[in-house]
Amino acid sequence: DFLAALEEVPPAFGVSEAELQQCVQNHIIPFSPHIEQILADGKLYVDQVRQSSRTPVVSLLVHGPAGSGKTAIAATIALESEFPFIKLISPETMVGMTESAKIAEISKVFNDSYKSPLSVIVIDNIERLVDWVPIGPRFSNAILQAILVLIKKKPPKDRRLLIVGTTTERNVLDQMDMADAFNSQIYVPTITTLEGIDIVLQQLGLFSDAERKRTMSLLSQAGMENKIAIGVKKLLMVIEMARQDADKIEKFVNTLISL
Amino acid sequence: DFLAALEEVPPAFGVSEAELQQCVQNHIIPFSPHIEQILADGKLYVDQVRQSSRTPVVSLLVHGPAGSGKTAIAATIALESEFPFIKLISPETMVGMTESAKIAEISKVFNDSYKSPLSVIVIDNIERLVDWVPIGPRFSNAILQAILVLIKKKPPKDRRLLIVGTTTERNVLDQMDMADAFNSQIYVPTITTLEGIDIVLQQLGLFSDAERKRTMSLLSQAGMENKIAIGVKKLLMVIEMARQDADKIEKFVNTLISL
Amino acid sequence: DFLAALEEVPPAFGVSEAELQQCVQNHIIPFSPHIEQILADGKLYVDQVRQSSRTPVVSLLVHGPAGSGKTAIAATIALESEFPFIKLISPETMVGMTESAKIAEISKVFNDSYKSPLSVIVIDNIERLVDWVPIGPRFSNAILQAILVLIKKKPPKDRRLLIVGTTTERNVLDQMDMADAFNSQIYVPTITTLEGIDIVLQQLGLFSDAERKRTMSLLSQAGMENKIAIGVKKLLMVIEMARQDADKIEKFVNTLISL
Amino acid sequence: DFLAALEEVPPAFGVSEAELQQCVQNHIIPFSPHIEQILADGKLYVDQVRQSSRTPVVSLLVHGPAGSGKTAIAATIALESEFPFIKLISPETMVGMTESAKIAEISKVFNDSYKSPLSVIVIDNIERLVDWVPIGPRFSNAILQAILVLIKKKPPKDRRLLIVGTTTERNVLDQMDMADAFNSQIYVPTITTLEGIDIVLQQLGLFSDAERKRTMSLLSQAGMENKIAIGVKKLLMVIEMARQDADKIEKFVNTLISL
Amino acid sequence: DFLAALEEVPPAFGVSEAELQQCVQNHIIPFSPHIEQILADGKLYVDQVRQSSRTPVVSLLVHGPAGSGKTAIAATIALESEFPFIKLISPETMVGMTESAKIAEISKVFNDSYKSPLSVIVIDNIERLVDWVPIGPRFSNAILQAILVLIKKKPPKDRRLLIVGTTTERNVLDQMDMADAFNSQIYVPTITTLEGIDIVLQQLGLFSDAERKRTMSLLSQAGMENKIAIGVKKLLMVIEMARQDADKIEKFVNTLISL
Amino acid sequence: DFLAALEEVPPAFGVSEAELQQCVQNHIIPFSPHIEQILADGKLYVDQVRQSSRTPVVSLLVHGPAGSGKTAIAATIALESEFPFIKLISPETMVGMTESAKIAEISKVFNDSYKSPLSVIVIDNIERLVDWVPIGPRFSNAILQAILVLIKKKPPKDRRLLIVGTTTERNVLDQMDMADAFNSQIYVPTITTLEGIDIVLQQLGLFSDAERKRTMSLLSQAGMENKIAIGVKKLLMVIEMARQDADKIEKFVNTLISL
Ligand SMILES: Nc1ncnc2c1ncn2[C@@H]1O[C@H](COP(=O)(O)OP(=O)(O)OP(=O)(O)O)[C@@H](O)[C@H]1O
Ligand SMILES: Nc1ncnc2c1ncn2[C@@H]1O[C@H](COP(=O)(O)OP(=O)(O)OP(=O)(O)O)[C@@H](O)[C@H]1O
Ligand SMILES: Nc1ncnc2c1ncn2[C@@H]1O[C@H](COP(=O)(O)OP(=O)(O)OP(=O)(O)O)[C@@H](O)[C@H]1O
Ligand SMILES: Nc1ncnc2c1ncn2[C@@H]1O[C@H](COP(=O)(O)OP(=O)(O)OP(=O)(O)O)[C@@H](O)[C@H]1O
Ligand SMILES: Nc1ncnc2c1ncn2[C@@H]1O[C@H](COP(=O)(O)OP(=O)(O)OP(=O)(O)O)[C@@H](O)[C@H]1O
Ligand SMILES: Nc1ncnc2c1ncn2[C@@H]1O[C@H](COP(=O)(O)OP(=O)(O)OP(=O)(O)O)[C@@H](O)[C@H]1O
Ligand SMILES: [Mg+2]
Ligand SMILES: [Mg+2]
Ligand SMILES: [Mg+2]
Ligand SMILES: [Mg+2]
Ligand SMILES: [Mg+2]
Ligand SMILES: [Mg+2]
């Protein structure tokens, strides 16, 4: 039965660990308590899949503003499950494929997962996978329909699956009846406090401690306390740009203020 | 004639019992008297097909909110008919097929059914079969037209057919002139009473009797009596999530309240 | 010349009698004087085609609400002409064909008819033949254009043709400039009197005479006299459903009232 | 030069006389002085093509209500030119062809015409040739563009061409910039006087003289004098229908009144 | 270098002189001083291409009402340049080609031009080349994009190119961002004075001097002085039509007045 | 590691220097201090790519009015980086390709760049690459989606990439969610001062010093000081046109005033 099947699977079967590791290249910096809460929730869903036979498929939509860290978080949940089958479906590996080749690829990942007792599939950047563009609007209905069906499809007996999707366009997915097709949703916020900025700066080592304090006080004087709302990915970019400049503090502070 | 033809058919011809059984994996829990009434009505239609030669094809649309149990009920009606030919047409087995391959598959099921004196065909999730999406809106008109024609097509002499469709989007099917093409319609409701919740909890064994009573009283205190409206499928998901948590009662009550 | 040509044709050439007979499976029940008038008018058009060389093609659009009996009436007019070539063009035989295959099939029927001195072609359910759906709206313009041209095309010398189309969507055909392309139109009404219901009940033998009288009086008491409007096809369905029930009268009356 | 070239052409080259004759099957009945004026104008254009080397291509759009006699008039102008090349382009010979096959066929007629010193091409029913339908609206832009270019294209040196198009949809052709592409336009009216009706009746011999007079007086009493507007083609149809009836006068008068 | 390359080209390479000559079949009649100014401006652009190495590609859009003489003027500018490569791109030679064949043909002309040190390409009737129709509106975006890119593409080193486009639909090209892609624009007017008409009449020899004077005085009396606006091409057509009539003056005057 | 990989690359690998040089054919004339600032900013981004391993891909959108010099500036930034891989993606080399061939070509450039430790890709004229036209509007969603994914795709380990896009249609790219996909944006202005015009005139040597002064004073008297807004590319065209004229000053001044 289920436990027996679990043992038969060679541990490394179907893991795309390298690709997923690359998504957390700059680690998960705990810039606010939300981040820890999100990862804890993720573990609960992993447990449900591992233990309940009544809900063999559980699906989770990770959404939030551009650059807020959705992909890194989805990858972290997937990697920490240590399930024998962990796969990433991403538009980046499908550039230039025809619509039907993309659907075949997506289907294959699901069919492969049905061979493992426990699986996680990360579907990254769903709006891009379905070729969404707001002008028109236009999108690939064929890919959309395939995903809609696959995330609700029950795996065969004694097979269990966690699906983690990510998107910047939750409203769009809502209008496509896709948000509803997920069992749960997790919101990933931007950094909205100076403390959050401070934590990231500390981690990245752009400034000495003195410089960092000056920076924070400059931002505070500029009244940024209640105005800040920057994705962690964008913040990393600003930090690296500032690093090239002669006057790093000025560059960093000015860029943040002018956003 | 008809009775002779009936005897010639090998009993197991054309039954997709396994697939249909999987649709009622968690059984039909009688959480309200409606459920029994629905199954009784279903039997009447089965009888009409079995006995009246003037209406060789009878069609039935099972509709209701997402997760209310439509597929499980359609499968149950079909399985209980014990007709020699029972088939499921479902988008889940057609992911990635071209439009014309899908139409060929659907047609084939109907043509196969014409070889049996008595048949049931379940057409599950019609809005997904026709690739419906509200943005645009878009859908496959070719598949739609094929279904529109097939559900009204008369079987050959001495052949009789019951068609059971399911959908979450009755309004959409109405606009597509499809709702009219069905002879009758059955509405499957969500659970709208605390008693309904209680019955399901009892069946699933999440709590001891004492815990269940506490849970019900907490929900009652929270004024949920008049607010509840949850599909049985969603309720099963909430129960299984709560089962993972340290404090099952709190998790269950809070999740229901926050829906 | 024409009479000579008429004699040369083998009597049974090109008749699709079986298919057309199936369309009048439950006969034409004369539930109102309109029905007889319609059939008499149909005969006049048949005569015109048979006798006038100045109008070698005459076309007739049979329209009315869903289930009012349009197909049965068109089939009856065609069969009673006893012309050597009688053919049915129906969406039911074209499920899953490509647009161009459908056009080829339709064209072929017309070209075949040109080989017979006298022909009738029934084009059933035109809105379905052209894949009409109100959402969009969408339809096959290629099939539409083919039909538009074919129903006005003059047959070769000494060949005469009656075309009988049917549709539920006269307004749509109007907007498509197709209603205008027909020379005449016949409206098929629903049953709008209790007398009409009574006649049909009598014919179908659902009740004993006493039961039938009780039924009519119940309907009358319920004030249905001025509210009734049911297609004969739907009425047949209601009668057959009631036949399965323990209390046939109650089931029949309640169903009619709740329509 | 031109006259030499004219002599070289075998007289019967490229005439589709049979098809065009069929278009005037019921002759041109001179029901009003307009009809003679139209045919006289047609002759002027024929003369211009025959004689002026400065305008090697002249095009003429014959438009008017459905059934007013446009095709018969265009065919008459073409046949009376007695040019060595006279061809009919009609949707009736192109049913079921692909868009590109239709364009190839149309092009071929023009290219063939360039081999004759003097040619007439009748393009019948242009709105149908371009697959026009008001819903959408939709039409074949590829065919439209081909016609737009061909009717303005100059023939090779010493080749001259008259193009006669017909359409019921002059407004549509206007919106398509096609009406402008024709050098001149001729309007074909319906019959709008009782005298016109009388002339046609006389010609068709439906009634004895006495019957005809009674008919006219009945129409006059019914106040039809100022209301009549019927295409000659429709009138022929009404006459032939009346011919089948026991009471021809009543049928004819009632049909005209109820139009 | 450039001058050397110029000498190597055989004089007649790539000239489509015959086709262009045909476009000026009826010559350029100088009906107003504007016409001379337009041709002088055209020469300036030719000079710039011949002499400035900083602007290796110069493009010119000739626009104006239908029949105002745009094609004749573009052809004249091209022919008078006497550049070694002079080509006409015209919808008339592309009837029935696929979109991609048209693009290949257009591209080929440009690529051929890059082999000549000095080239002129006339792109006639751009709205027709891109299959423009105002209903929809519809057009070939693929052809449009190809032209948009090609008219701005820099020729290889030491190659220079003048592009002369013509269109009746300047507003449309504006909305397509194509008008902007041309470096300059020239407007070709209709004839708007009686003097202009007089000059053309004189040239065409329709009337004796006395007749012409009478004609002009009739037009003047009819108050046409301030109302006239006729393309030279249309005027030629009217003159040739009048030539067939018994009363040439009346026909000519009446036609002009009734325009 | 990274530095080692850098050494292994043959210096000239993958540079499309000739094409890029052609884009700066008329050099970069420093007509305002902005121009120098833009080039300095460009260098900062080049440095970030060269030095920071945390942001392996940096993307920059150069936008501004038509002819303001965007392509020349993007080419200059790319060439001055002296990275081993420098490539231009331009619609000019893709005329007549199918959508999928264009995507394959674009993908190939990115995949090739991943073989070099340091790369610059210039994507010129993005609105044209995606076949944008405001009527409709229409564009190639497939090409758009490919670019959207490729500019955010992370290169493999130890590979770094600078992407410089150019466009006249920043608002359009915004609506396509593409402007957001770039990390930074640079605006290239038109010339808006008489000093700017003066600098360009001086560089191009159209006038003697005296003539230039007269020209500037004429422009000043005409009140052009506050009205000027001309792209440097257009200004070069005006200068070269004026060069052909007998009265260069008048031509130049009049053209500028009449813009
Ligand atoms: N707390 C955090 N949460 C998420 N990512 C973090 C966090 N701290 C640091 N990071 C780093 O920030 C980056 C987040 O980028 P990521 O691609 O996950 O964002 P995204 O929201 O998916 O962006 P996009 O909207 O473009 O898809 C990663 O490099 C990750 O290592
Ligand atoms: N009374 C009931 N009616 C229907 N299903 C029930 C009932 N009691 C328990 N179930 C279980 O609940 C689940 C209902 O899920 P089902 O897929 O039928 O819902 P659905 O309405 O078809 O959902 P969807 O809208 O997603 O198609 C099944 O697992 C079924 O066994
Ligand atoms: N008076 C009648 N007129 C027509 N049909 C009748 C009449 N009396 C009985 N019938 C029976 O009623 C049925 C009418 O069905 P039919 O398919 O012709 O209806 P329809 O209007 O074509 O339906 P639909 O709108 O679905 O195409 C047939 O079985 C026919 O035998
Ligand atoms: N004066 C007339 N003008 C035209 N046709 C006439 C006239 N008198 C008699 N006819 C006859 O009337 C018929 C006219 O039909 P025709 O097909 O030309 O009409 P139409 O306007 O082309 O119709 P549609 O709008 O359907 O294309 C022909 O059979 C023709 O012989
Ligand atoms: N001054 C003139 N300018 C242009 N054409 C003239 C002039 N005088 C005479 N013509 C003659 O008039 C005709 C003009 O026709 P042309 O095809 O050039 O017009 P067009 O504006 O291109 O028409 P269209 O709008 O249909 O393309 C030619 O035959 C030309 O020889
Ligand atoms: N300061 C400057 N900035 C940019 N280009 C300059 C400058 N000075 C001179 N030039 C020259 O001006 C021309 C600018 O043309 P370029 O094609 O770069 O403009 P563009 O904005 O890309 O035009 P388009 O909007 O048509 O794409 C080039 O030939 C370049 O050499
Ligand atoms: Mg992401
Ligand atoms: Mg279901
Ligand atoms: Mg019918
Ligand atoms: Mg006609
Ligand atoms: Mg022209
Ligand atoms: Mg540019």
pLDDT tens for each residue of A70-112: 999 999 999 999 999 999 999 999 999 999 999 999 999 999 9
Contacts of D239 in chain C (CB under 8 A): 54
Chain E residues 112-171 within an 8 A CB cutoff of chain D? 128, 131, 133-136, 138
Of A206-210, B16-20, D93-97, E77-81, the poorest mean pLDDT is in B16-20
Contacts of A92 in chain F (CB under 8 A): 149, 153
CB within 8 A of C80, min separation 6: which ones? C39, C42, C43, C46
Checking if the pLDDT of E137 tops 50, the result is yes
pLDDT tens for each residue of F46-65: 999 999 889 999 999 999 99
* Nearest CA among F175, F146, F99 for reference residue A129: F146
Checking if the pLDDT of F9 tops 60, the result is no
Contacts of C174 in chain D (CB under 8 A): none
Q: Note the pLDDT of residue B25.
A: 85
Checking if the pLDDT of D197 tops 80, the result is yes
pLDDT tens for each residue of C99-119: 999 999 999 999 999 999 999
Q: Please confirm whether the linkage preceding E33 is cis (ω < 30° from 0).
A: no
Average pLDDT over residues E108-119: 97
Q: How far is E8 from chain D (nearest CA, A)?
A: 34
Q: Give me the amino acid identity at F87.
A: K
3-state secondary structure of C119: strand
CB within 8 A of F72, min separation 6: which ones? F23, F24, F26, F28
* pLDDT band with cut points at 50, 70 and 90 for residue C25: confident
Q: Which residues pair with E191 in a beta bridge?
A: E230
Q: Note the pLDDT of residue E259.
A: 84
Q: How far is A241 from chain F (nearest CA, A)?
A: 6
Sequential pLDDT tens for chain B (259 residues): 666 655 655 544 577 888 899 899 889 999 999 999 999 999 999 999 999 889 999 999 999 999 999 999 999 999 999 999 999 999 999 999 999 999 999 999 999 999 999 999 999 999 999 999 999 999 999 999 999 999 999 999 999 999 999 999 999 999 999 999 999 999 999 999 999 999 999 999 999 999 999 999 999 999 998 899 999 999 999 999 999 988 999 999 999 998 8
Tell which atom from ligand 3 comes closest to the C-alpha of C125: 27
Q: How far is A245 from chain F (nearest CA, A)?
A: 8
Q: Note the pLDDT of residue B11.
A: 46
Query: Pick the residue with more confidence: F21 or A140?
Result: A140
User: Other CB atoms closer than 10 Å to residue C110's CB: what's the count?
Assistant: 22
* C132 secondary structure, DSSP code: -
pLDDT tens for each residue of E19-62: 899 899 889 999 999 999 999 999 999 999 999 989 999 999 99
Answer yes or no: do C22 and B176 touch at CB < 8 A: no
E70 lines ligand 5 (CB under 6 A): yes
* Nearest CA among A90, A95, A55 for reference residue A70: A90
Of A14-18, A233-237, E3-7, F244-248, the poorest mean pLDDT is in E3-7
Average pLDDT over residues F130-146: 98
Average pLDDT over residues D148-158: 95
* pLDDT band with cut points at 50, 70 and 90 for residue D25: confident
Instruction: Identify the residues whose C-beta falls under 6 Å from ligand 1.
Output: A 24-29, 31, 35, 66-73, 125, 168, 232-233, 236
Q: Note the pLDDT of residue F6.
A: 58
Chain F residues 66-105 within an 8 A CB cutoff of chain E? 66, 91-92, 95-96, 98
Answer yes or no: do E25 and D153 touch at CB < 8 A: no
Q: What is the largest CA-CA distance in chain A?
A: 65
Average pLDDT over residues A8-16: 60
Q: What ipTM did this prediction achieve?
A: 0.94
Query: Pick the residue with more confidence: D188 or C17?
Result: D188
* Nearest CA among C54, C33, C58, C56 for reference residue C44: C58
| Closest C-alpha residue for ligand 6 atom 14 | F69
- How far CA B91 is from CA of A151, B20, B112, C20, F203, in Å, comes to 12, 14, 19, 35, 69
End-to-end CA distance of chain E: 57
Of A10-19, A205-214, D140-149, E169-178, the poorest mean pLDDT is in A10-19
* Nearest CA among E27, E134, E109, E42 for reference residue E72: E27
Answer yes or no: do B48 and C236 touch at CB < 8 A: no
Q: Which residues pair with B164 in a beta bridge?
A: B60, B122
Between the CA of D180 and the centroid of ligand 8 the distance, in Å, is 58
Cβ atoms of D143 and D100 closer than 8 Å: no
Q: Note the pLDDT of residue E228.
A: 93
Q: Which residues pair with C133 in a beta bridge?
A: C138
pLDDT tens for each residue of F188-245: 999 999 999 999 999 999 999 999 999 999 999 999 988 999 999 999 999 999 999 8
Pocket test for ligand 3, best of C232, C236, C237, C239 (most atoms within 8 A of CB): C232
Q: Note the pLDDT of residue E26.
A: 87
| CA B74 – CA B23 distance, rounded (Å) | 9
Q: Note the pLDDT of residue A15.
A: 75
Contacts of B142 in chain C (CB under 8 A): 131
CB within 8 A of E171, min separation 6: which ones? none
* Nearest CA among D108, D48, F184, D245 for reference residue E95: D108
Of B161-175, D245-259, E136-150, the poorest mean pLDDT is in D245-259
Question: Pick from D22, D133, D236: which is nearest to C154 by CB?
Answer: D22
* Nearest CA among E91, E88, E106, E84 for reference residue E151: E106
pLDDT tens for each residue of C176-191: 999 999 999 999 999 9
Q: Note the pLDDT of residue D11.
A: 46
| CA B183 – CA A109 distance, rounded (Å) | 41
Size of interface D-E (CB pairs under 8 A): 66
Average pLDDT over residues E153-173: 96
* B30 secondary structure, DSSP code: -
Tell which atom from ligand 5 comes closest to the C-alpha of E75: 18
Contacts of E66 in chain D (CB under 8 A): 180
Q: How far is D26 from chain C (nearest CA, A)?
A: 7
Prediction pTM value: 0.94
Contacts of F172 in chain A (CB under 8 A): 135
**Chain C contact present for B111, CB below 8 A:** no
Q: Note the pLDDT of residue B8.
A: 58
DSSP string for chain F = -HHHHHHHS-TTTTB-HHHHHHHTTT-----SHHHHHHHHHHHHHHHHHHH-SS--EEEEEEE-STTSSHHHHHHHHHHHH--SEEEEE-GGG-TT--HHHHHHHHHHHHHHHTTSSEEEEEE--HHHHTT-BTTTTB--HHHHHHHHHHTTPPPPTT-EEEEEEEES-HHHHHHTT-GGGSSEEEE---B-SHHHHHHHHHHHT-S-HHHHHHHHHHHHHTTGGGT--B-HHHHHHHHHHHHHSSSHHHHHHHHHHH-
Ligand nearest to the CA of E88: 11
* E88 secondary structure, DSSP code: E
Checking if the pLDDT of A1 tops 90, the result is no
| CA F157 – CA F163 distance, rounded (Å) | 17
Residues with CB under 5 A from ligand 8 (ion): B 71
Q: Note the pLDDT of residue A11.
A: 46
Q: Note the pLDDT of residue E11.
A: 46
- How far CA B191 is from CA of B75, B124, B215, B220, B230, in Å, comes to 20, 21, 17, 15, 5
pLDDT tens for each residue of B218-238: 999 999 988 999 999 999 999
Q: Give me the amino acid identity at E39.
A: L
Q: How far is E119 from chain F (nearest CA, A)?
A: 18
Q: Give me the amino acid identity at D212.
A: R
* C138 secondary structure, DSSP code: B
Q: D241 to chain C: nearest residue by CA?
A: C48
Q: Note the pLDDT of residue C11.
A: 46
* pLDDT band with cut points at 50, 70 and 90 for residue E18: confident
Average pLDDT over residues C128-148: 98
State which of B106-110, C9-13, C221-225, E222-226 shows the largest mean pLDDT. Answer: B106-110
Q: Note the pLDDT of residue C16.
A: 82
Task: Report the percent of chain E where pLDDT is more than 90.
Answer: 87
* D154 secondary structure, DSSP code: P
F26 lines ligand 6 (CB under 6 A): yes
What pairing do the DSSP bridges indicate for beta strands D184-187 and D57-63?
parallel
